Structure formats: structure tokens, C-alpha cells
């Protein structure tokens, strides 16, 4: 029998007690926060912007909607959402305060300050009542959460009936050849880039390992459905390097 204190999870390729994961994840993002946006552009050649725009295209934000952007980091998704919606409100929630601090220093945060909240919190225990938001997003965040199914259950709880979930994440590349090329790049180049730009190769080693440990698209689709979401679907981006999952609380 496994009780709560003896359960383990993965931190990249290392198995650790579940109770240690959140602290280690905070360590990673606390360390890279001030260079996070620059590193995102460098390691994806700017392509993360195209994936985030694709998320907005599918989401089609509408005026007046209330967004909860979990693991929202430096605000990329919330800024895009508010620009597209024209009016509305976004709450950026993240476990790591330095990520939110870096987000608040961005020019967009200043321009949109009346429509934005920044909240420190955990995706697995959201500090909001049931049925509070029209839209829930989590972009490149859920693979860092200790128990992703609990985060999805929480998403379902805080969404209003009729609300929409959208997850952007690296799942698994369906093509073996592409996967090999991607592994060569991600395991050999990204940690080195992390060392040069953020002076921290270990954090970027964790990030690339965590991608390999995340469930494939179909398995994750099952988890979205298990949380209660209907019309659950996914779309691969850039041949499956990244993927969008969508679901509705009906």
C-alpha cells in the first residue's frame, strides 16, 4: 500500500518524493525568472509565440470574459487574451512569485493593469470559488505540476458551466525520426543555451527531461475527459512538438 508520504513522482528523469516536487519546481523557475522570456525566444527561435497565438485562434476570446491563466508565469497568455478580447479580466496564477514579478515588469502589464490580477498559488488547490471563470488556460505549465489530474479537476471546478479549458504543452512527437532530431537538439543545445543566457544549465536540463516524461496526446486527452470535460479534442502544432488540448464544462 502507498500512503501520501511515500508516493513518488518524477522531477525530470529523477524519481523523488511527491512532497519535494513543488519546492524543486519553484527552485527552477525562481532561478530563471529574470531570463525566462529571453530564453523562450532563444530556445524555440520565437516559435513559442506562434503556438501561443494558435492557442488564441482556437480559443477566440470574447469581450467581457474572465480568464484564469494557471502557471501563467510572466503573463504571455493573459496579455494575448486581453488584447484579443478587447475587454475582460485575466488572473495570472503561479506557484513561483519571481515569475509573476518578472511579468509585472513588462510593458504590457502596465498598460493592462486595470484588467489584470497576479496571484501566487498552486494549480492543485486554486484559491477561488466554484464556477468563477469563463476560460481556464495553462501553457507549458501542467507538466510541472505534481499531480496533473488534480490540476485538471480544479480547472473543472472553478470554470462556470459553459466554460472552456485550453492546455498548451509539449506532449510526445508522433513521428520517431522527428523525435530523434528533437531529442538531439533539446538534450544537447538547450541546457548549454541555459548556461550561457540564464547561467543555469540544470534548470534547462530539467525542462527538457520533463517534456519526455509527459503523457502522449491520447493519454492526456483521457485525463481531460476524466476531469469531466466534454467535447475534448486536441490539435498538434509543428508536427506534434507542441499540442493544444481543449474541453468544455457543460
Which residues are near ligand SAM by CB under 6 A?
Answer: 22, 25, 29, 70-73, 76-77, 94-96, 99, 122-124, 139-141, 144-145
Find all residues with CB under 8 Å of 62, minimum gap 6, and list them: 85, 88
Minimal distance, residue 99 CB to ligand SAM, in Å: 4
CA distance from start to end of the chain? 36
- Dmax (CA) for the chain in angstroms is 53
Cβ nearer to ligand SAM, comparing 99 with 158 = 99
What is the C-alpha separation between 122 and 178, in angstroms, rounded?
34
| Spatial separation of the C-alpha atoms in residues 218 and 207, rounded to whole Å | 22
Q: Which is nearer to ligand SAM, 176 or 201 (CB)?
A: 201
> Closest approach of Cβ 138 to ligand SAM, in Å?
7
Of 151 and 161, the one with the shorter C-beta distance to ligand SAM is: 151
Q: How far is the CB of 249 from ligand SAM (least distance, A)?
A: 20
And the C-alpha cell for 38? Answer: 529571453
Question: Does residue 139 have a known ligand-binding role?
Answer: yes
Nearer to ligand SAM, 55 or 224 (CB): 55
Q: Specify the residue, 41 or 230, whose C-beta has the smaller distance to ligand SAM.
A: 41
Q: CB of 141: closest distance to ligand SAM in angstroms?
A: 4
> Minimum Å distance from CB 140 to ligand SAM?
4
- Taking only Cα atoms into account, the Rg of the chain, rounded to an integer number of angstroms, comes to 17
Residues in contact with 37: Cβ distance below 8 Å, sequence separation at least 6, in sequence order: 74, 76, 102, 106
93 conformational bin, left if phi > 0, alpha if psi -120 to 50, beta if neither: beta
Backbone phi and psi for residue 246, each to the nearest 5 degrees, phi listed first: -130, 145
- 33 marked ligand binding residue: no
Binding residue per annotation — 123?
Answer: yes
* Sequence ranges of the binding site for S-adenosyl-L-methionine: 74, 94, 122-123, 139
Amino acid at each position: 500500500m502507498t500512503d501520501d508520504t511515500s508516493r513518488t513522482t518524477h522531477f525530470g528523469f529523477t524519481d523523488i518524493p511527491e512532497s519535494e516536487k513543488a519546492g524543486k519546481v519553484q527552485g527552477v523557475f525562481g532561478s530563471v525568472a529574470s531570463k525566462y522570456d529571453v530564453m523562450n525566444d532563444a530556445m524555440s527561435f520565437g516559435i513559442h509565440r506562434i503556438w501561443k497565438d494558435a492557442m488564441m485562434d482556437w480559443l477566440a476570446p470574447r469581450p467581457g470574459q474572465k480568464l484564469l491563466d494557471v502557471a501563467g508565469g510572466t503573463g504571455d497568455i493573459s496579455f494575448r487574451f486581453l488584447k484579443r478580447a478587447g475587454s475582460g479580466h485575466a488572473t495570472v496564477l503561479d506557484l513561483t512569485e519571481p515569475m509573476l514579478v518578472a511579468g509585472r515588469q513588462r510593458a504590457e502589464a502596465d498598460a493592462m493593469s486595470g484588467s489584470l490580477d497576479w496571484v501566487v498559488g498552486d494549480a492543485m488547490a486554486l484559491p477561488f470559488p466554484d464556477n468563477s471563470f469563463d476560460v481556464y488556460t495553462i501553457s507549458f505549465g501542467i507538466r510541472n505540476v505534481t499531480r496533473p489530474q488534480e490540476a485538471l479537476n480544479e480547472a473543472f471546478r472553478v470554470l462556470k458551466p459553459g466554460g472552456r479549458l485550453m492546455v498548451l504543452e509539449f506532449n510526445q512527437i508522433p513521428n520517431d525520426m522527428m523525435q530523434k532530431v528533437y531529442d538531439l537538439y533539446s538534450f544537447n543545445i538547450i541546457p548549454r543555451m541555459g548556461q550561457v543566457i540564464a547561467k543555469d544549465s540544470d534548470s534547462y536540463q530539467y525542462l527538457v527531461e520533463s517534456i519526455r516524461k509527459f503523457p502522449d496526446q491520447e493519454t492526456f486527452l483521457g485525463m481531460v475527459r476524466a476531469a469531466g470535460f466534454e467535447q475534448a479534442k486536441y490539435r498538434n502544432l509543428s508536427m506534434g512538438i507542441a499540442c493544444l488540448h481543449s474541453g468544455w464544462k457543460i
